[in-house]
């Protein structure tokens, strides 16, 4: 189930308490309305001290009084990643490195200090799935996007090379349109209500 993003953690609690009054909110799985109820806090247990609150859950309540399917949905602040084991700033570094022309593997290594090429490919594909929304945002922000012709490369097919080059130019245009780079991923998640990179399919 896709998360719902909010500006801050403090905005989540009152919204969740009044979740039944949110008009048009239905379960993404069973499509029923009137079945959604609050379902407790999410905690970050990665630290050495006591766990801290990072979000909340809502549930399509399966009790007889509601008749839902039991699926939960996360309520997260815009600066939280979703189902990836890395902070959102790592995604920004990944994008920064791609914009600078680094390979996908090296960009992933810069972001996570890991050399897992398969996971690097997953991040790249997950980011590519947001291409249409990134292009939409560029147009709405009034920035021009004109990809140059890709350089020739005998090791990559022309079509694959063309799409890869075009997306890198798109990323650079989008990245350059922000005055503070650390905000672009949180901005994306808040605007489009979609995690910019998620391990979920």
Q: Does 200 fall in a domain?
A: no
Residues 188, 99, single domain; the answer is: yes
Could you read off the pLDDT of 45-88 as tens digits, one per residue?
665 556 788 999 999 999 999 999 999 999 999 999 888 878 89
Residues 55, 31, single domain; the answer is: yes
Domain with 163 in it: 88-192
pTM score:
0.82
Q: Does 82 fall in a domain?
A: no
Q: What is the pLDDT of residue 148?
A: 60
- Helices 158-176 & 88-99 angle (0-180, nearest 10): 120
Residues 10, 100, single domain; the answer is: no
Quick count: other Cβ atoms within 10 Å of Cβ 40?
Answer: 11
- Residues 14 and 42 sit within 8 Å (Cβ to Cβ): no
Q: Does 198 fall in a domain?
A: no
Please give the helix or strand (H or E) that residue 103 lies within, else none.
none
Q: Cβ neighbours of residue 197 under 8 Å, at least 6 residues apart?
A: 81, 84, 91, 94, 123, 126, 127
Could you read off the pLDDT of 71-81 as tens digits, one per residue?
999 999 999 98
CA contacts within 13 A on the Cβ side of 104: 17
Could you read off the pLDDT of 121-154 as tens digits, one per residue?
999 999 999 999 999 999 998 887 776 655 555 5
Final residue in a domain of this structure, among 30, 51, 77: 77
Final residue in a domain of this structure, among 77, 108, 133: 77
The three-point CA angle 196-198-201 to 5° equals 125
Does 3 have pLDDT greater than 60? yes
Q: Does 83 fall in a domain?
A: no
Q: What is the pLDDT of residue 191?
A: 95
The mean of the pLDDT values for the chain is: 87
Quick count: other Cβ atoms within 10 Å of Cβ 112?
Answer: 20
Q: What is the pLDDT of residue 45?
A: 67
Q: What is the pLDDT of residue 104?
A: 95
Q: Does 201 fall in a domain?
A: no
């Amino acid at each position: 189930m896709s998360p719902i993003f909010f500006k801050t953690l403090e905005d989540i609690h009152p919204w969740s308490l009044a979740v039944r009054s949110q008009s048009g909110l239905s379960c993404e799985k069973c499509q029923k309305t009137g079945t959604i109820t609050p379902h407790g806090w999410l905690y970050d247990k990665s630290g050495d001290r006591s766990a801290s609150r990072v979000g909340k859950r809502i549930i399509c309540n399966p009790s007889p009084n509601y008749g839902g399917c039991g699926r939960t949905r996360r309520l997260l602040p815009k600066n939280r990643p979703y189902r990836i084991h890395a902070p959102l700033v790592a995604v920004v570094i990944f994008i920064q490195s791609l914009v600078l022309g680094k390979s996908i593997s090296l960009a992933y290594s810069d972001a996570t200090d890991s050399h897992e090429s398969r996971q690097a490919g997953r991040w790249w594909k997950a980011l590519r799935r947001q291409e249409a929304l990134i292009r939409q945002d560029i147009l709405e922000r009034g920035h021009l996007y004109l990809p140059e012709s890709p350089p020739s490369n005998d090791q990559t097919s022309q079509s694959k090379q063309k799409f890869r080059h075009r997306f890198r130019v798109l990323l650079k245009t989008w990245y350059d349109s922000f005055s503070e780079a650390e905000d672009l991923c949180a901005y994306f998640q808040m605007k489009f209500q979609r995690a910019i990179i998620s391990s979920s399919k």
